[in-house]
């Protein structure tokens, strides 16, 4: 079995998960960050991280870290950690394309005695049933005879500068007790919060996927309550603040549910559950509610416009925020696009502003242009993301973006206090 002091790490995939991991390992041991995106590698070599997860000085501190797009540069490594995205396709089925291609990459360079560890979020069984067979086929080696495997789910929270990688407890697992012990010790060398060694790879996979399912279902409950309270003419936030005075009331808030985790991971488990002839009811009900929030938000806005005798078709609406969460440039699976799509179905002209979103990426991924809003231009404004820049603006400044004497502001994120002409979710 490989010795901890002899570990040379290759990180496959340098996004929101892989780069922070590479930086932490690169502070103390030989680490190579590998990615197929040449522009990403060039930027990192120059000390620039477009995800804003790692500062230039942190990159500089990782003295044992290098970056490459060349497979030959990782062939001398002996621990391969895969941190590529695991999205869903347009049918809301797991898309393992990147994961399987990364497994092929590992298969081309792995040698006897090496270890491959997966961090990407998957359903229970994906590592051993889907990924490892690819590594075995390409390499001609066999797991637990020639090499070992492990799974240690990522817990990165994009944009969170408080809960950084070393301060988040890490779940680990391995294909044999010896491999599990080494993998646990390896992560324990950089995770100050400690580790939890799961009894099997499948347990670790399942633990990760339900972390986000639990959040998804709870947010769905609050979203459904918001729909109910709206019919009663009750402000949802007022209700939540009152209920929150009890010590064990969970502080969830209504809103759009997107991103690469909460809006995606439940479909991985439900897919696997249905393969086992079980149709999940609660999980999928939560998904239906959260996936429908964009249309609900627009329907409510349109009703408010009609109530005010505003012409809907041809109206101009500004949507403030495009990223999937506040103070983060991450556009993956943002559900703000559901709001934009629903508005366009009503014949509404939309514009989007976002100080965090990369304009080139927004255009490439969604065909959207990021604009600088002009006062007195819009019939309504939707505050879709609670960026700090938006929170720093006064409500009067937001209202001034509207034309006419009765500005309409739909504050999805409850950024502002309840006020005249402000609708909250």
By annotation, the residues acting in catalysis are 261
Between CA 284 and CA 270 the distance in angstroms is: 8
**CB within 8 Å of 18: residues ≥ 6 apart:** 11, 12, 33, 35, 81, 83, 84, 119
CB 255, CB 425: distance < 8 Å: yes
CA distances from 117 to 9, 111, 195, 201, 384 (A): 10, 14, 15, 10, 37
CB 356, CB 329: distance < 8 Å: yes
Q: Which residue do the tokens 């492990």 mark? A: 150
Between CA 132 and CA 110 the distance in angstroms is: 12
């Amino acid at each position: 079995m490989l010795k901890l002091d002899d570990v040379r790490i290759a990180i496959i995939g340098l996004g929101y998960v892989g780069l922070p991991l590479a930086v932490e390992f690169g502070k103390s041991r030989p680490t190579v960050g590998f990615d197929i995106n040449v522009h990403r590698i060039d930027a990192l070599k120059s000390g620039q991280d477009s995800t804003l997860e790692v500062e230039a000085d942190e990159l500089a501190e990782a003295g044992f870290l290098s970056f490459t797009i060349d497979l030959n540069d990782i062939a001398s490594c002996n621990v391969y950690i895969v941190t590529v995205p695991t999205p869903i396709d347009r049918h809301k089925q797991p898309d393992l394309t990147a994961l399987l291609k990364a497994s092929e990459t590992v298969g081309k360079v792995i040698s006897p005695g090496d270890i491959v560890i997966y961090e990407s979020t998957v359903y229970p069984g994906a590592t051993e049933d889907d990924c490892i067979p690819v590594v075995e086929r390409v390499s001609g080696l066999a797991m637990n005879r020639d090499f070992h495997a492990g799974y240690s789910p990522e817990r990165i929270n994009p944009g969170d500068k408080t809960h950084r990688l070393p301060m988040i407890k890490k779940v680990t697992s391995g294909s044999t007790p010896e491999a599990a012990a080494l993998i646990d010790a390896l992560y324990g060398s950089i995770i100050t919060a400690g580790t939890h060694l799961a009894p099997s790879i499948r347990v670790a996979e399942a633990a990760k996927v339900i972390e986000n399912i639990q959040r998804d279902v709870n947010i769905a409950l609050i979203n459904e309550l918001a729909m109910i309270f709206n019919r009663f003419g009750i402000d949802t936030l007022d209700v939540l603040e009152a209920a929150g005075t009890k010590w064990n009331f969970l502080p969830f808030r209504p809103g759009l549910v997107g991103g690469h985790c909460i809006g995606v991971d439940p479909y991985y488990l439900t897919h696997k559950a249905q393969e086992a002839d079980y149709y999940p009811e609660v999980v999928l009900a939560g998904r239906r509610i959260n996936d429908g929030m964009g249309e609900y938000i627009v329907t409510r806005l349109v009703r408010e416009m009609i109530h005010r005798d505003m012409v809907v078709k041809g109206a101009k609406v500004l949507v403030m925020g495009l990223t999937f969460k506040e103070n983060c440039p991450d556009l993956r699976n943002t559900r703000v696009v559901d709001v934009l799509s629903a508005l366009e179905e009503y014949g509404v002209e939309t514009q989007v502003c976002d100080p965090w979103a990369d304009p080139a990426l927004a255009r490439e991924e969604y065909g959207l242009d990021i604009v600088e809003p002009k006062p007195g231009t819009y019939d309504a404004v939707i505050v879709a993301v609670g960026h700090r820049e938006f929170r720093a603006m006064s409500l009067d400044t937001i209202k001034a973006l509207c034309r006419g004497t009765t500005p309409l502001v739909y504050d999805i994120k409850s950024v502002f206090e309840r006020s005249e002409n402000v609708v909250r979710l």
